[in-house]
Structure 1
Amino acid sequence: MASTTPAPARPEDERLPFAQLVVYGTQHILTMYGGLIAPPLIVGSAAGLSAQDIGLLVTAGIFISGLATLLQSLGLGPFGARLPIVQGISFASVSTMVSIASHGGVRPVFGAILVAGLVGVIASSFFAHLVKLFPPVVTGSIITVIGVSLLPVAFDWALGGVAALGYGNPSNIALAGLTLLVILVISRVFQGFVSRLSILIGMIVGTLVAVPWGKADFSAVPHGKAVSFPPIFGLGTPVFDAGAIVAMTVVIFVIMTETMADIIAIGQIVETPVDHKRVANGLRADMLSSTVAPVFGAFPASAFAQNVGLVAITGIKSRFTVAVGGGVLVLLGLVPIFGRMVAAIPAPVLGGAGIVLFGSVAASGIRTLSRVEYADNLNLVVVAVAIAMGLVPIARPHFWDKFPSGVGVVLDSGISAAAVTAVLLNLFFNRWRALVKDKPSVFAAAPDERGNTLPTDS
């Protein structure tokens, strides 16, 4: 009698054939690679580093992101959520690191990350108990803002990449549109394995078209070391500055808020339970990776929201797929020539893929919000104000410039602004029983599909 492989107890524990793991894992890495290398490029330039030193930052960031992804997806004791979560160098820390690096170079940045990361490791267990403060009305608002806040990145890529020569050229937009079209056609025409590779195929087709168009340059690929291990403190030993440490600690808590939201989001997409213990394990891995990062010359790591969108699009829920992707990142960090090949993917191609990926994150949030009960409560107000606060940094990037730096660090991130607002309003309207009313306000009414207002006592 033929043996059958029993179905895994949890969707994320599914084991796919190795070839599929490699292909799907590589797709995850291609999806996030542009966002991964951007922070070290930006911070290295602000610190006045040479091109060679910036290259070390990039390589170290890739290497640490791979190790962090392996730890998060496979887990090691109390570290790792064991979910299909890709870790990468966090965008949330860029503005603070630029501010520190522009005055004292990267060494104070590394010192601040070391101390702040340790604080994050210690705080992870307590922070995870806040998971009960994230019901669907909160998580749906945050996930929606995560997707919407990422879309401007995709649009900038589609225009050619910020500060790139020819930024805004219609040919860049055409290339992004072609990539998007290929992804949509494959998603519609094909099913199963091919359909799930729509993002990867779209990026390959877009890059191949870009070569004769003169928008993909692979000339730098053969130059440089073929194999290189990230040196320990290769850019100098850490410098511990009190002001930088305080600022970075605030950033670490922002990163923890974003990572917790991503863990909850991926749990909903995968349809697997996520309790405070699992969140704590995920945050602990996140913070451990961030603490170790400066040793190799890298910056804080966090969950990448665009890869949450990729899981939603492909339906591949296996954490082992992401683990293989983490292994690919480690190899890219050790073999820079592979990294240089991937880095040659044109920004407009990334932009076309990013529109689908980031938009799908927002759509996942909207789907979560559709399950929220709006009758006889003020959940509509919670959603409205949280999303509005999350959009402030996108619509008006300088809105918080005149406020103290601590306020700006938190509220200049649309994700953390939406998270703080949604949590506080949910507590105020739904958990503080002294203020809960049977007839809360006219905002509790919701229009039906015909546009008629439903009575609040229905």
Structure 2
Amino acid sequence: MSEVTTKHPVDEVLPAPQMFLYGLQHVLSMYAGVVAVPLVVGNALKLSATDITFLVSAGLFMSGLATLLQTIGVWKFGARQPLVQGTSFAGVSTMLTIGASVGGGHAGLRAIYGALIVAAILGLLLAPVFTRLLRFFPEVVTGVVITIIGVSLLPVAIKWAGGGTPGVTPNFGAPKNIAVAALTVLLIVLIYRFLPGFFSRIAILLGLVLGTIVAIPFGITDFSKISDASVFQLTTPFHFGMPTFAVGAIISMFIVMLVTMTETTADILAVGEVIDQPATRDQVTAGLRADMGASAVAGVFNGFSVSAFAQNVGLVAITGIKSRFVVAVSGAILFVLGLFPVLGAIIAIVPLPVLGGAGLALFGTVAASGIRTLSKVDFSGNANLVIVGLSLGMGIIPIAVPTFYDQFPSWFRVIFDSGISAAAITAVLLNIIFNIVGRSDSAEGPIFSEAPPSGAISDEDEERLQMRREAIHPRARQAIIENA
């Protein structure tokens, strides 16, 4: 008799057409995030349009390689989870500071790449040590972090829905932008609710395509990007010259790597919850190795640091497609887009308001996944309420007021300007204080709970008494009542 082995959905290989469409859906959901960093850095360093185009292609190329490494895995590299890797925004301000310190231009890029290569290698070596901290990530911590990941992304979706950046983008918040975003959300909801299985699972993809078509009469769909893009572009190592190394720049970038590792750990734990396969310590270590290894290689191939994209965790949650091989197809698509800029330009015609509408659904789902994790936490005492409340508060500070820490040192801003790292650090420290160090039945002092009056029965004693009452035979109980 042959033994039937049931694969976990994360290892499922779907029919090729479905794999491609699901993979394309992931790419469309995160494309704007991947190209944003090269555009910001390139313009800040005053690079030419040709150089910026090269940086965008390099970013797509490296995002594709990193995604393939993370999903398929090689040796001890890769979490083998449905995680899309993309160019990280965490280090943008640090990179701009490093680049400006040497006068910008190609010299600025060489300084950035030198710091990135060394810092990422240090992060790679640190990965096994870093994951020893996982025991400090119970559900009360991971729930907070997953929730704040979604909450921190929602302002991005809102800005996209408005058409760009307030005060910078002309006609930001124009009624036509809001209308297109709202129509996109409506289309996604209708497709998800009323169309059968396969179509509901590509609701985001269909919403993006139909939303782009709807946007054409509004005049916010730009097709000129296609005619301006080159057909083929090969990403060559050290295109802008050999990297330069400065101790100060390396230290600053290493702090960024620690923040990135914290965020990636949170994403790995989050997707583990979504796919019903909680991440192990070895998985997190392998995921961090892939993150840091790909970031080091990115410094060679003119890219920037890469990390897991939380919006794609939301896409996994909303579609229910948990296969890592679907996401591997996304990596292959990103890789090809990096080699053929004209294909990337076709993807780029999706207007920001359309992305904003889809983003509201995706990012909100990430936050909802965090709330679901928090629902498993024991809130019978008030300690966990304090942990969740203060951690969410610390995480929301840089989201609500991005300039809140502007007067602090740069190393401090790198850490706490990220709502994710701020919430994670706060939650871990508070969990240690309340639930690990000197934990006892009376650990919650009078500040957080009202002590019962002298002689009062505790909840535990009440439960024991109730069990004893239920254990008494009915006739014996009646005799006790009659003799009372």
TM-score interval, smaller chain: over 0.9
Q: Does 1:239 align with 2:257?
A: no
The answer as to whether partners of 1:74 and 1:320 remain within 8 angstroms in 2 is: yes
The answer as to whether partners of 1:74 and 1:323 remain within 8 angstroms in 2 is: yes
- Tell me which of 87, 101, 104 is aligned to 1:103: 101
Give me the whole-angstrom Cα distance separating, in 1, the residues matched to 2:260 and 2:239. 25
How far does residue 5 in structure 1 lie from its aligned partner after superposition? 7.8
Q: Residue 214 and residue 273 in structure 1: after superposition, are their counterparts in 2 closer, same or farther (change >3 A)?
A: same
Aligned to 2:381: 376
Aligned to 1:448: none
Q: Residue 377 and residue 302 in structure 1: after superposition, are their counterparts in 2 closer, same or farther (change >3 A)?
A: same
Q: Does 1:322 align with 2:327?
A: yes
Q: Residue 39 and residue 101 in structure 1: after superposition, are their counterparts in 2 closer, same or farther (change >3 A)?
A: same
Deviations 1:300-357 (A, max 9, x none): 0000000000000000000000000100000000111110111111110100000000
Q: Residue 273 and residue 148 in structure 1: after superposition, are their counterparts in 2 closer, same or farther (change >3 A)?
A: closer
Q: Does 1:425 align with 2:424?
A: no
Aligned to 2:132: 129
How far does residue 164 in structure 1 lie from its aligned partner after superposition? 2.7
Aligned to 1:411: 416
Q: Does 1:84 align with 2:82?
A: yes
How far does residue 15 in structure 1 lie from its aligned partner after superposition? 1.4
Aligned residues: 447
Aligned to 2:146: 143
How far does residue 214 in structure 1 lie from its aligned partner after superposition? 1.3
Aligned to 1:167: 172
Give me the whole-angstrom Cα distance separating, in 2, the residues matched to 1:269 and 1:425. 25
The answer as to whether partners of 2:269 and 2:278 remain within 8 angstroms in 1 is: no
Give me the whole-angstrom Cα distance separating, in 2, the residues matched to 1:4 and 1:224. 53
Q: Residue 264 and residue 456 in structure 1: after superposition, are their counterparts in 2 closer, same or farther (change >3 A)?
A: farther
The answer as to whether partners of 2:229 and 2:345 remain within 8 angstroms in 1 is: no
Please give the residue correspondences for 1:296-375 in structure 2 after superposition, counting only pairs within 5 Å.
296-375=301-380
Give me the whole-angstrom Cα distance separating, in 2, the residues matched to 1:101 and 1:157. 28
Which is further off, 211-220 or 267-276? 211-220
Deviations 1:368-411 (A, max 9, x none): 10110011350000000100000000111111111111111100
The answer as to whether partners of 2:176 and 2:218 remain within 8 angstroms in 1 is: no
Give me the whole-angstrom Cα distance separating, in 2, the residues matched to 1:94 and 1:438. 42
Aligned structure 1 segments of 4 or more residues deviating by more than 3 angstroms? 3-6, 438-445, 455-458
2:160 counterpart SS class: helix
Instruction: In structure 1, give the amino acid aligned to 2:132.
Output: H
Deviations 1:221-248 (A, max 9, x none): 1333211111211122211121111110
Q: Does 1:73 align with 2:74?
A: no
Aligned to 1:115: 118
The answer as to whether partners of 1:374 and 1:444 remain within 8 angstroms in 2 is: no
Instruction: In structure 1, give the amino acid aligned to 2:237.
Output: I
Root-mean-square deviation over aligned CA pairs = 1.8
- Tell me which of 50, 54, 59 is aligned to 1:52: 50
5+ residue gaps, structure 1, are 446-454
The answer as to whether partners of 1:379 and 1:444 remain within 8 angstroms in 2 is: no
- Tell me which of 16, 19, 25 is aligned to 1:27: 25
Which is further off, 273-282 or 309-318? 273-282
Q: Does 1:285 align with 2:290?
A: yes
How far does residue 443 in structure 1 lie from its aligned partner after superposition? 4.0
Give me the whole-angstrom Cα distance separating, in 1, the residues matched to 2:255 and 2:47. 26
Give me the whole-angstrom Cα distance separating, in 2, the residues matched to 1:209 and 1:126. 51
Aligned to 2:39: 41
Give me the whole-angstrom Cα distance separating, in 1, the residues matched to 2:441 and 2:40. 48
How far does residue 433 in structure 1 lie from its aligned partner after superposition? 2.3
Aligned to 2:220: 215
Give me the whole-angstrom Cα distance separating, in 2, the residues matched to 1:307 and 1:227. 27
Instruction: In structure 2, give the amino acid aligned to 1:85.
Output: L
Aligned to 1:155: 158
Bigger Rg over Cα: 2
Instruction: In structure 2, give the amino acid aligned to 1:422.
Output: A
Aligned to 1:451: none
Q: TM-score, normalised by structure 2?
A: 0.89
Q: Does 1:188 align with 2:193?
A: yes
Aligned to 2:61: 63
Q: Residue 439 and residue 422 in structure 1: after superposition, are their counterparts in 2 closer, same or farther (change >3 A)?
A: closer
Instruction: In structure 2, give the amino acid aligned to 1:93.
Output: G
Give me the whole-angstrom Cα distance separating, in 1, the residues matched to 2:445 and 2:361. 38
Work out the percentage of aligned pairs sharing the same amino acid: 52
1:302 counterpart SS class: strand
Give me the whole-angstrom Cα distance separating, in 2, the residues matched to 1:456 and 1:68. 52
Deviations 1:112-131 (A, max 9, x none): 10010000100011111211
Give me the whole-angstrom Cα distance separating, in 1, the residues matched to 2:312 and 2:444. 41
1:372 counterpart SS class: coil
The answer as to whether partners of 2:124 and 2:293 remain within 8 angstroms in 1 is: yes
1:88 counterpart SS class: strand
Which is further off, 100-109 or 88-97? 100-109
The answer as to whether partners of 2:383 and 2:444 remain within 8 angstroms in 1 is: no
Deviations 1:392-447 (A, max 9, x none): 001111111111111111001000000000001001110112566255456469xx
2:264 counterpart SS class: helix
Q: TM-score, normalised by structure 1?
A: 0.94
How far does residue 138 in structure 1 lie from its aligned partner after superposition? 0.1
1:221 counterpart SS class: helix
Give me the whole-angstrom Cα distance separating, in 1, the residues matched to 2:85 and 2:398. 24
Give me the whole-angstrom Cα distance separating, in 2, the residues matched to 1:294 and 1:365. 33
Instruction: In structure 2, give the amino acid aligned to 1:70.
Output: L
Q: Residue 113 and residue 436 in structure 1: after superposition, are their counterparts in 2 closer, same or farther (change >3 A)?
A: farther
How far does residue 290 in structure 1 lie from its aligned partner after superposition? 0.3
Please give the residue correspondences for 1:2-13 in structure 2 after superposition, counting only pairs within 5 Å.
6-8=5-7, 10-13=8-11
1:222 counterpart SS class: helix
